[in-house]
């Protein structure tokens, strides 16, 4: 077990520093958490900042009906497919080179999206952007797994999600502000490129290489396939990977249809950024709370209790959504409650799924992210596209996803729930 101090502000020192980090000033846990969170938040910003402008995009580029959601759905699905690629390269060449490649592509394709002249070309560019920038999604968990394990990883990932979720909370407001200031949705993509440039500079200056020399893997199809296969076939982890894919698929369904649902079904389009911020903010608060309790009670106990509560709240959502004339006053509190519960599920499920794969963290993170993102994106797009002017499709999908997630967790745990806390095993 690795014994280096990881308290806030302390240097992160490995058992044998990678050569690339020899002359680099040490990065503390607090800065690492902020950096990984904001890297992941680039994707959240790329998804959520454009939401208030979907009507404008549809009007300018001639998109009809629910097809405007493809601007979001194409990015999510392609990002899921793209996560298969960076992990193997990061396990061979290191985390930094792969991150820089992903960031450069994110920046370039943001500018290309700003210059799109048709809706079909914008959707294609968004898909390519999501695919090429997938390293920004897949590598932060691998970098954290390079440093810590056990419930300590769950604590750090929860703190990362606290910061990460601040971006979806404010991104629609930023997008709306840019739209009002410049009068053109294209400037939102320019803002994405600018954020990418800022993150690239920070990573270049401060992030050391976290991959240890003894953990480097060969770039050969056989070991790559073997490593990825082991990451998604081990019984004790596959249930958690797929369970998180299902519950987050419900979340993606909300993101896809949120602008229409809140603006059209409930007639609160002018309050959309605020309502979206409330829901995302509740999820951030839950992740912070999880970081305070997970090492004491264990990731399994906390997440299993949250999953049962998610089922109950989803059932309540479906009941209210099935009533005539459901109001915003019932929809928002219940949606915020379920997003809060995801704060106790997501980081914990992800950490449990990564536990056995310290020496192949890059490949494992890629393979698991692929399953989570592709499954979640397809489910989310399907939910969004079935929008019928009510919250019923979303509520029904959330309940079904939660029940199936429970069955998957039971599979991974051999029918036993609420396991003991797990130490920082390295």
**Cβ contact 139:98 at 8 Å:** yes
List alpha helices for 83-149, DSSP H: 86-93, 95-114, 119-132, 135-147
Q: What is the pLDDT of residue 295?
A: 79
**Cβ contact 4:12 at 8 Å:** yes
Choose the weakest-confidence range: 16-20, 73-77, 248-252.
Answer: 16-20
**Cβ contact 32:11 at 8 Å:** no
Choose the weakest-confidence range: 136-140, 186-190, 342-346, 384-388.
Answer: 384-388
Q: Mean of the per-residue pLDDT values for the chain?
A: 81
Q: How far is CA 207 from CA 95, 97, 133, 249, in A?
A: 10, 11, 18, 32
CA dihedral 224, 225, 226, 229 (to 10 degrees): 120
Residue 309 has pLDDT above 90, yes or no: yes
Confidence of residue 352 (pLDDT cuts 50, 70, 90): confident
Instruction: Write the CATH number of the domain with boundaries 27-412.
Output: 1.20.1250.20
Mean pLDDT, range 298-313, rounded to an integer = 92
Considering only residues 297 and 1, tell me which one the structure prediction assigns the higher pLDDT.
297
DSSP SS3 for 11: strand
Give per-residue burial for 361-382: e unless 16+ CB within 10 Å, then b. bbbbbbbbbbbbbbbbbbbbbb
pTM across the whole model: 0.68
* pLDDT tens digits along 74-86: 887 888 788 878 8
Residue 348 has pLDDT above 80, yes or no: yes
Mutual orientation of helices 150-182 and 272-297 as an angle, nearest 10°?
A: 170
* pLDDT tens digits along 53-67: 888 888 888 777 667
* pLDDT tens digits along 149-171: 667 777 787 777 777 667 767 88
Choose the weakest-confidence range: 217-226, 289-298, 339-348.
Answer: 217-226
């Amino acid at each position: 077990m690795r014994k280096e101090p990881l308290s806030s502000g302390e240097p992160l020192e490995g058992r044998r520093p990678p050569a690339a980090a020899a002359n680099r000033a040490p990065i503390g846990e607090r800065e690492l958490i902020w950096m990984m969170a904001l890297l992941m938040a680039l994707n959240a910003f790329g998804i959520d900042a454009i939401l208030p402008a979907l009507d404008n995009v549809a009007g300018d580029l001639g998109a009809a009906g629910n097809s405007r959601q493809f601007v979001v759905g194409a990015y999510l699905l392609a990002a899921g497919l793209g996560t298969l690629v960076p992990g193997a390269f990061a396990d061979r060449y290191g985390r930094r080179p792969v991150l820089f490649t992903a960031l450069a592509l994110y920046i370039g394709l943001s500018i290309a999206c700003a210059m799109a002249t048709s809706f079909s070309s914008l959707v294609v560019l968004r898909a390519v952007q999501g695919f090429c920038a997938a390293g920004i999604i897949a590598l932060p968990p691998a970098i954290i797994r390079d440093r810590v394990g056990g419930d300590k990883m769950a604590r750090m990932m929860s703190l990362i999600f606290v910061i990460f979720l601040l971006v979806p909370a404010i991104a629609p407001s930023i997008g709306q502000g840019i739209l009002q200031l410049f009068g053109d949705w294209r400037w939102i993509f320019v803002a994405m490129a600018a954020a990418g440039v800022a993150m690239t500079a920070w990573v270049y200056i401060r992030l050391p290489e976290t991959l240890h020399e003894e953990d480097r893997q060969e770039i050969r199809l056989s070991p790559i396939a073997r490593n990825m296969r082991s990451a998604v076939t081990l019984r004790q982890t596959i249930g958690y990977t797929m369970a998180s894919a299902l519950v987050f698929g419900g979340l993606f369904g909300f993101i896809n249809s949120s602008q229409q649902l809140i603006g059209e079904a409930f007639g609160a389009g002018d309050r959309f950024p605020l309502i979206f911020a409330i829901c995302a903010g509740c999820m951030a608060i839950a992740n912070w709370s999880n970081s305070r309790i997970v090492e004491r009670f264990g990731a399994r106990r906390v997440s299993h209790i949250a999953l049962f509560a998610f089922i109950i709240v989803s059932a309540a959502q479906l009941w209210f959504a099935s009533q005539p004339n459901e109001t915003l006053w019932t929809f928002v509190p219940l949606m915020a409650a379920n997003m809060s519960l995801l704060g106790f599920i997501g980081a914990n499920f992800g950490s449990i799924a990564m536990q056995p794969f310290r020496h192949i963290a890059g490949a494992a993170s890629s393979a698991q992210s692929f399953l989570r993102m592709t499954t979640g994106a397809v489910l989310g797009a399907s939910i969004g596209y079935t929008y019928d002017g009510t919250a019923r499709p979303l509520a029904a999908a959330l309940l079904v996803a939660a029940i199936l997630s429970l069955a998957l967790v039971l599979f991974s745990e051999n029918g036993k729930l609420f396991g003991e806390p797990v130490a920082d095993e390295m």
